[in-house]
Amino acid sequence: MSHQTTLEFNNAMYKGSISLNTGLFIDGQWVDPVEPDSIYVINPATGKKVASVSLGSSKDVDLAVKAAQKACKTSWGLKCPGTQRGKLLARLADLMERDADQFTALEALDAGMPFQFAKAANVGSSIQTLRYFAGWSDKIQGKSIETNETKLAYTRREPYGVVGGITPWNVPLGMLCWKVAPALATGNCIVLKPSEMTPLSALKFASLVSEAGFPPGVVNVVNGYGTTVGQAISEHMDIAKVSFTGSTLVGRKILEASAKTNLKVVTLELGGKSPTIVFDDCNLEQTVKWAAMAIFVNMGQSCVAGSRIFVQEGIYPQFMEKFTAMANGLGQATGDPFAPTTQHGPQASKAQYDRIMNYIASGKADGATLHAGGERHGTEGYFIQPTIFTDCKAEMKIVKEEIFGPVAAILKFKTEEEVIEAANATTYGLSACIFSENISRALRVAHAIESGSTFVNSAQLIDPAIPFGGYKASGIGREQGEYALETYTQVKAVHVNIGLEI
Digit-coded pLDDT (tens) for 292-338: 999 999 999 999 999 999 999 999 999 999 999 999 999 999 999 99
* pLDDT of 2 over the 60 cut: no
Helix axis angle for 100-111 and 124-136, nearest 10°, is: 120
pLDDT of residue 220: 98
Residue 269 annotated as catalytic: yes
Q: What is the mean pLDDT of the chain?
A: 96
Q: Do 181 and 68 have their domain in common?
A: yes
pLDDT in tens, 124-155: 999 999 999 999 999 999 999 999 999 999 99
30 found inside a domain? no
Domain count, the chain: 2
pTM here is 0.96
The phi, psi pair for 417, rounded to 5°, reads -60, -40
* pLDDT of 447 over the 60 cut: yes
Q: How many CA atoms lie within 13 A of 88 on its CB side?
A: 27
How many helices and strands (H and E) does the chain possess?
A: 16, 22
Q: Do 442 and 296 have their domain in common?
A: yes
Q: Report CA torsion sign: 439, 441, 442, 443.
A: positive
Q: Regarding beta strands 308-312 and 265-269, do their DSSP bridges make them parallel or antiparallel, or are they unpaired? A: unpaired
Q: Do 222 and 310 have their domain in common?
A: no
Q: Do 210 and 119 have their domain in common?
A: yes
324 found inside a domain? yes
41 found inside a domain? no
422 found inside a domain? yes
pLDDT in tens, 387-405: 999 999 999 999 999 999 9
pLDDT of residue 502: 87
SS3 at position 389: strand
% of the chain at pLDDT higher than 70:
100
What mean pLDDT do residues 379-387 have? 96
Chain CA centroid to CA 413, Å:
31
pLDDT of residue 499: 87
Helix axis angle for 100-111 and 172-185, nearest 10°, is: 130
427 found inside a domain? yes
13 found inside a domain? no
Q: Do 321 and 353 have their domain in common?
A: yes
The CATH number covering residue 169 comes to 3.40.605.10
Q: Do 290 and 373 have their domain in common?
A: yes
Element (H, E) at 28: none
Q: Do 353 and 279 have their domain in common?
A: yes
Domain hosting residue 396, numbered range = 275-463
Q: Name beta bridge partners: 334.
A: 344
Q: Do 81 and 169 have their domain in common?
A: yes
Q: Do 231 and 327 have their domain in common?
A: no
Region for 292 from its dihedrals, namely left if φ exceeds 0, alpha if ψ lies in -120 to 50, beta otherwise: alpha
SS3 at position 159: strand
pLDDT in tens, 30-86: 999 999 999 999 999 999 999 999 999 999 999 999 999 999 999 999 899 999 999
pLDDT in tens, 159-217: 999 999 999 999 999 999 999 999 999 999 999 999 999 999 999 999 999 999 999 99
Q: Do 450 and 484 have their domain in common?
A: no
424 found inside a domain? yes
The CATH number covering residue 424 comes to 3.40.309.10
* pLDDT of 1 over the 90 cut: no
pLDDT of residue 10: 93
pLDDT in tens, 457-496: 999 889 999 999 999 999 999 999 999 999 999 999 999 9
Among 235, 269, 450, 479, the one annotated catalytic: 269
pLDDT in tens, 56-69: 999 999 999 999 99
141 found inside a domain? yes
Q: Spell out the alpha helix ranges (H) of 240-349.
A: 248-260, 284-296, 316-332
Q: Do 142 and 266 have their domain in common?
A: yes
Q: Do 212 and 289 have their domain in common?
A: no
The phi, psi pair for 333, rounded to 5°, reads -100, 25
Q: pLDDT category, 3, cuts 50, 70, 90?
A: confident
Query: Taking a C-beta distance cutoff of 8 angstroms, is the pair 228, 58 a contact?
Result: yes
pLDDT in tens, 224-247: 999 999 999 999 999 999 999 999
